[in-house]
Amino acid sequence: MLKINKYKVGLLTVALSMALSGCNLDGDNGEQGVEGEQGIPGVVGTDGSDGKSLPRELNVEVVGRFATGIYGKSAAEIVQFHKNSNSAFAINGAANQIEVINLTDLSTTEVGNPVADESLSSSAFTFPLSVSVKNSSGVENTILLGAVNSIAIKDDLLAIAVEGEVKQTSGAILFYSLNALGEGTFIKAVEAGALPDMVTFTPDGKKLLVANEGEPNADYSNDPEGSISVIDVTEMMPADVAVTINLSSDIVFSDDNLSPEDYDTDEKRLAILTKAGVKFAGPIGNTVAKDLEPEYITTASNSEIAYVSLQENNAIGIINLKDLTIEVKALGYKDWGKYQLDFTNKDEVPQFKSIQGLYGMYQPDTIASYSWNGSTFIVSANEGDARDYDGYSEEVRVKDIIDPDELNQTLSTALQSQYDETGGSDYLGRLKVTTALGDKDQDGEYEELFAYGARSFSIWDQNVNLVFDSGDDFGKISSAILGNNFNAAHTENKGDNRSDDKGGEPEAIDVGEIAGRTYAFISQERAGDLFVYDITNPFNTAFVTHYNNRDFSVDYEMDDDLANPCDSNEGMDCTEVNMAGDLGPESIKFISAADSPTNTPLLVIGNEVSGTVTVYQVTEQ
């Protein structure tokens, strides 16, 4: 039998009770201690710098300019920068060479006369008229070369894209090693596709990407396929043979509702892409690969994904550089019922209206990319372009749709009413639109109208969803500053001249960082406007400034369709064109402060009609 010691249990109970109560056995609090002496005061900190409101103001100044003296013949097109020689490289299509413009002694203050300055000079970088290339079996072939189209520079490696003597045949990429003077030593040539129109290195320098546009000849009897060439680069040495991403069997779709069997023929791919909104326009026998014409490539910072503009198709392709496939994404349409545009050149004044049922195809030319919060965003210059050849043309003025001697078709009641209200044939009737869209049920009545380009720049996310569009900013900003000279042609000083076509035609775009903010720089081909936007946060963009380096008071006229655009026998007059400023900006290259020879951010712009290369300094006010 178990015996319990009641005395011990009692003591234990008391102890536990005291422990739990916690204060029954505490002593009294002591008296307050004497207050200690005051410590030594800390050092007063320096005042912080004043914050800056957004958007920050930028100064744009011309600090140098190079003039070829050749007008209307694409004497200054694509521009790049070689840091080790402090040189701008510019394609001179008229001479079929590259101008190497040394910027070592570039001014850090604005030149005295920006529109006529010729303070910079160049040396010619030439290349052969034929090259030897290897095929996949290692057999060498000779390619006869035609015009140079594009250049790219990565460190000291230069790549030059040159089309074939017949541009519907294979072209070539010529690689050179550059020295500290910007001089090149030939490395090798690599065969590319038909009409290699643009080249770019991936950020890591391990690949060169080539957009082979594959344009048809005039009568459409020879229409090569568009494609992407990928050339591996190892320690500055290019591979002998490119890998081709074709625009047929290498097209993929990320939609989980589609299986590979759903797009294993050209007919299936064409049907899916058309339904998704990709624009196709061509003669009978057209195929997806023939119709898609790669225009311009930009690469994500991870060097794994690239994006290519498919301008005529109103689409952007997403290129997977790991498995070498491409997915084509339609861009949709801009609703001009929500914005305003000037659609006629007849009144010769800026006048903006909304038209319900009128849409703009974005159709970007140049694209660039940047990162925000770890994601890639694409910026596009929405120029627009039509297929307009002897053998096939989709281009028509609205008035010709209803002209019995032209298309002899009709507009919907709503469109016809607006057509009449604007003033008819001299107003909305002047606007150029496509015949490939608008009459969806093919009954001879246009329910909608689709114009070329969006007269804007846009930002797209990594899946090619629209994040931002500048709307009708460009037309309204330009007209507010230039007055009746807005939408001017670049072959003469005639204002409002391009309103019935594609407006100012945003042609080129680049992005760059200045003092921690990211900016987009967009140039318009026709009147020569330069627009700057703060795009640091793509969901909160802001217009910053505008610049135009042109004198609209100078009287000149040229025709770039002539063999000699300044031929006086044809009534042309280029006597004073050298005083007119920059005409036809074609490309922009941003140079960061870290890479700049002046330690300040620079823009280099190639102007194909005036044959000039202009260098701008861009700084915070």
- Top pLDDT among 30 and 64 is at 64
Confidence (pLDDT) at 43: 78
Q: Quick count: other Cβ atoms within 10 Å of Cβ 315?
A: 25
Q: For 375-422, how does the pLDDT look when each residue is reduced to its tens digit (9 = 90+)? A: 999 999 999 999 999 999 999 999 999 999 999 999 999 999 999 999
Q: Which helix (H) or strand (E) holds 123?
A: strand 122-125
Q: For 537-553, how does the pLDDT look when each residue is reduced to its tens digit (9 = 90+)? A: 999 999 999 999 999 99
Q: Are 81 and 87 in contact (CB under 8 A)?
A: yes
Q: Which helix (H) or strand (E) holds 328?
A: strand 325-330
Q: Report the candidate in 126, 141, 133 with the shortest Cα–Cα distance to residue 241.
A: 133
Cβ neighbours for 578, distance < 8 A, ≥ 6 positions apart: 67, 69, 116
Res. 14: pLDDT tops 50:
no
Q: For 562-595, how does the pLDDT look when each residue is reduced to its tens digit (9 = 90+)? A: 999 999 999 999 999 999 999 999 999 999 999 9
User: Measured at the alpha carbon of residue 299, what is the angle toward residues 293 and 300, in degrees to the nearest 5?
Assistant: 140
Q: How far is CA 341 from CA 344, 351, 481, 560, in A?
A: 9, 8, 16, 27
Alpha helix positions (H), 172-234: none
Q: For 445-487, how does the pLDDT look when each residue is reduced to its tens digit (9 = 90+)? A: 999 999 999 999 999 999 999 999 999 999 999 999 999 999 9
Res. 325: pLDDT tops 70:
yes
pLDDT confidence tier of residue 66, bands split at 50, 70 and 90? very high
Buried b (16+ CB within 10 A) or exposed e, 232-262: ebeeeebbbbbebbbbeebbbbeeeeeeeee
Alpha helix positions (H), 95-167: none
Q: How far is CA 96 from CA 74, 130, 158, 201, 246, in A?
A: 10, 13, 16, 22, 29
**How far apart (Å, rounded) are the C-alpha atoms in residues 607 and 74?**
8
Q: How far is CA 263 from CA 186, 267, 269, 308, 576, in A?
A: 43, 8, 5, 21, 57
Q: For 136-164, how does the pLDDT look when each residue is reduced to its tens digit (9 = 90+)? A: 999 999 999 999 999 999 999 999 999 99
Q: Tokens 């991870």 belong to which residue? A: 302
Res. 27: pLDDT tops 70:
no
User: Phi, psi (5° rounding) for residue 269?
Assistant: -65, -40
Res. 95: pLDDT tops 90:
yes
Q: Report the candidate in 587, 595, 579, 580 with the shortest Cα–Cα distance to residue 613.
A: 587
Q: What is the dihedral of CA 535, 541, 546, 549, to 10 degrees?
A: 30
Amino acid letter, residue 496: D
Confidence (pLDDT) at 369: 98
Q: Are 279 and 436 in contact (CB under 8 A)?
A: yes
Confidence (pLDDT) at 48: 64
SS3 424: helix
Q: Which of 52-56, 339-343, 565-569 has the lowest mean pLDDT?
A: 52-56
Q: What is the DSSP string of 222-235?
A: --PPPEEEEEEEET
Res. 320: pLDDT tops 90:
yes
pTM for this one? 0.92
Confidence (pLDDT) at 11: 41
Q: Tokens 């840091």 belong to which residue? A: 83
Q: Tokens 């009413």 belong to which residue? A: 417
Q: What share of the chain is helix, strand, coil (3-state, %, to 5)?
A: 15, 35, 50
Alpha helix positions (H), 220-354: 266-276, 288-291
Cβ neighbours for 459, distance < 8 A, ≥ 6 positions apart: 377, 378, 379, 380, 466, 467, 468, 469, 535, 538, 541
pLDDT confidence tier of residue 35, bands split at 50, 70 and 90? confident
Res. 2: pLDDT tops 50:
no
Confidence (pLDDT) at 326: 98
SS3 31: coil
**How far apart (Å, rounded) are the C-alpha atoms in residues 357 and 415?**
7
Average pLDDT over residues 593-610: 98
Q: For 227-284, how does the pLDDT look when each residue is reduced to its tens digit (9 = 90+)? A: 999 999 999 999 999 999 999 999 999 999 999 999 999 999 999 999 999 999 999 9
Q: For 410-453, how does the pLDDT look when each residue is reduced to its tens digit (9 = 90+)? A: 999 999 999 999 999 999 999 999 999 999 999 999 999 999 99
Q: Are 605 and 523 in contact (CB under 8 A)?
A: yes
